[in-house]
């Protein structure tokens, strides 16, 4: 079995150890609901090069995860969605939504902590201003869903 080059191992270690404090960040709690789709906490970071949104679940990972980046007063957003169909990025100018191609958007899930992390590069969100708000919406089946509050505006950088 080939071993990973030492330089790669070091780079990976640096990624793991990198502080999450770059960029403005925050979090909000969500009620502990008696449902399968149950977000307990939303946390977010508006970094210079990307946004990172985390949802902590009440143990169970919902079928569909939506990580919202919102701004303005007319319902504009980018939405990173993870479902059984894969991961996709959507944009809305306030009426309807359209899918956008994006290299580098991703959703990762940690079963140990029941945390899903969505990340979208800023290069994939040309319409979004620097200051944005965050929200999480998850669904399970047709009727079970949970929706966090929308955060206050968070500065970029
Ligand atoms: Ca909840």
Q: What residue spans define the domains of the chain? A: 21-147
Predicted pLDDT of residue 9: 55
Radius of gyration of the chain, Cα coordinates, nearest whole angstrom: 16
Residue 89 CA to ligand 1 centre (angstroms): 24
Question: In which residue are the tokens 């569909």 written?
Answer: 64
Residue 63 CA to ligand 1 centre (angstroms): 15
Residue 116 CA to ligand 1 centre (angstroms): 14
Residue 2 CA to ligand 1 centre (angstroms): 45
Q: How far apart are CA 42 and CA 25, in angstroms?
A: 11
Predicted pLDDT of residue 17: 45
Residue 50 CA to ligand 1 centre (angstroms): 26
> For the chain, which ranges sit under pLDDT 70?
1-23
Residue 40 CA to ligand 1 centre (angstroms): 5
| Mean confidence (pLDDT) of the chain | 90
> What backbone torsions phi and psi does residue 123 show, to the nearest 5 degrees?
-65, -20
pTM here? Answer: 0.84
Q: How far apart are CA 13 and CA 85, in angstroms?
A: 31
51: number of Cβ within 10 Å: 26
Residue 131 CA to ligand 1 centre (angstroms): 25
Predicted pLDDT of residue 7: 55
Residue 69 CA to ligand 1 centre (angstroms): 19
Alpha helices in 55-149 (DSSP H): none
40: number of Cβ within 10 Å: 18
Residue 54 CA to ligand 1 centre (angstroms): 14
**CATH number for region 21-147:** 2.60.40
Residue 33 CA to ligand 1 centre (angstroms): 5
Residue 4 CA to ligand 1 centre (angstroms): 41
């Amino acid at each position: 079995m080939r071993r990973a080059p030492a330089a790669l191992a070091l780079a990976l270690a640096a990624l793991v150890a990198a502080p999450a404090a770059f960029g403005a960040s925050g979090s909000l709690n969500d009620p502990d609901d008696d449902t399968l789709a149950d977000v307990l906490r939303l946390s977010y970071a508006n970094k210079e090069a990307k946004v990172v949104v985390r949802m902590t679940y009440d143990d169970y990972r919902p079928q569909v995860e939506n990580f919202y980046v919102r701004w303005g007063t007319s319902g504009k957003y980018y939405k990173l969605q993870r479902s059984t169909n894969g991961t996709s990025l959507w944009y809305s100018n306030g009426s309807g939504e359209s899918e956008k191609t994006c290299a580098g958007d991703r959703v990762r899930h940690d079963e140990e902590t029941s945390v899903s992390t969505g990340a979208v590069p800023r290069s994939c969100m040309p319409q979004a201003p620097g200051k944005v708000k965050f929200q999480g919406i998850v669904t399970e089946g047709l009727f079970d869903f949970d929706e966090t509050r929308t955060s206050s505006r968070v500065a970029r950088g």
